[in-house]
Amino acid sequence: MAAGAGGSRAIAVDCAVETPGWPPEEVLQQIAERAIAAAAARIGRTGDETLTILFTDDAEMRALNARFRGKDKPTNVLSFPAIGGTAPPGTPRHLGDIALGYEKVTGEARAEGKLLEHHLAHLVVHGYLHLLGYDHEMPEEAEEMEQLEREILESLAIGDPYA
């Protein structure tokens, strides 16, 4: 973990790439770290925390979506908040895991005319906010979450993903 602004510790992001076709792991790591750092800064999140991001394919996303959400179809991003409260003293708290599906994510970026890096940053932010308890089931929740996403992405010089 690297020290962040003001001496706070950065959130440790562990990326795992299990499907060919994704950008190089170093590139994905950089995109993820920047997106998470911007989101954490925007919502005032500090402290030692970790999360994992899995870069997989649509078949795995379909299986995860069916198993954990009862939806037998692939999706672009899934979040799995860690169960439990606090970490033992001196150890980072694991926030949970995020999974992204290659075909769905790259297809959306192409169809929407977005840079893949920008779409990835948006989905990482979206997944991270879910790990922290944000949701979009109700209209007012959706508006709050989408507005946060817009502000976070704007700080990364990425346009409104909902425009």
Which tokens in the block code for residue 139?
Answer: 């209209």
Residue 35 tokens read as: 């997106």
Fold annotation for 5-155: Collagenase (Catalytic Domain) (3.40.390)
Residues of the chain scoring pLDDT < 70:
1-9, 85-87
Distances (CA, A) of 144 to 23, 138, 160: 31, 10, 14
| Distance (Å, whole) CA 36 – CA 125 | 6
Can you give the pLDDT at residue 91?
82
> In whole angstroms, what is the distance from residue 56 CA to residue 87 CA?
28
- Closest of 110, 105, 120, 129 to residue 158, by C-alpha: 120
Express as a percent the part of the chain with pLDDT over 70.
93
Q: How far apart are CA 4 and CA 41, in angstroms?
A: 10
Single out the residue of 16, 14, 19, 28 nearest to residue 102, CA to CA.
19
The pLDDT score that the predictor gives to residue 1 is 34
Report the pLDDT value the prediction gives residue 115, as an integer from 0 to 100.
98
Question: Can you give the pLDDT at residue 121?
Answer: 98
Report how far residue 28's alpha carbon sits from residue 71's, in angstroms, rounded to the nearest whole number: 27
Instruction: Using a pLDDT cut of 90, give the percent of the chain over it.
Output: 83
| pLDDT tens string 54-95 | 999 999 999 999 999 999 999 999 999 998 766 677 788 899
